[in-house]
Amino acid sequence: MRNALTRIVTIAAVALGLTLTATAPVLASADKCKGDAFASCVAVNGKKRHVNWIKSRVALYAKTCRYGHSQVLINNKHYADSNGGRDKDYCSKSVFGDEVTTGTWKVNRNYAKGTKICSKFWVRTGATGPGTVNGYQSLGTACATIG
């Protein structure tokens, strides 16, 4: 329910032309989303500078699906892809929308202060041109910075 309420508030803010952005450093645990009605999300679980796991998600508006995959980046370098990089349908079953997990990676290691852990959901559109990369469009890049 918290995720649905968060999505509704975000959609209302977008409709009003507001931008919600949180960039404060975290102590190895964070949960962030970046995008409009559809968004990329990242969750980092740990304590101090130790990261236990990273979870990528896609936030969906209403009962919708998006076909694609998530990509996890650490300090702007490729770390992993959801579903082995293969696209699949990720769907919300709620009329209010939902954040659907696309992948979870057990990390179990320490990172330096300032390390940036990000997730980006790529929607397969098949289109070419501005805003697309090889037929994909990004829903945004959600990042957490280890404090």
Name the more confident of 86 and 19. 86
**How far is CA 101 from its chain centroid?**
9
Cβ(133)–Cβ(126) below 8 Å: no
Cβ(99)–Cβ(45) below 8 Å: no
- What digits encode the pLDDT tens for the residues 10-31? 444 433 333 333 444 445 688 9
- What digits encode the pLDDT tens for the residues 87-146? 999 999 999 999 999 999 999 999 999 999 999 999 999 999 888 999 999 999 999 999
Domain boundaries along the sequence of the chain: 2-141
CA distance to 20, 25, 32, 63, 94, per residue, from 42 (Å): 16, 14, 5, 21, 20
**Residues forming beta bridges with residue 47, ordered by sequence position:** 50
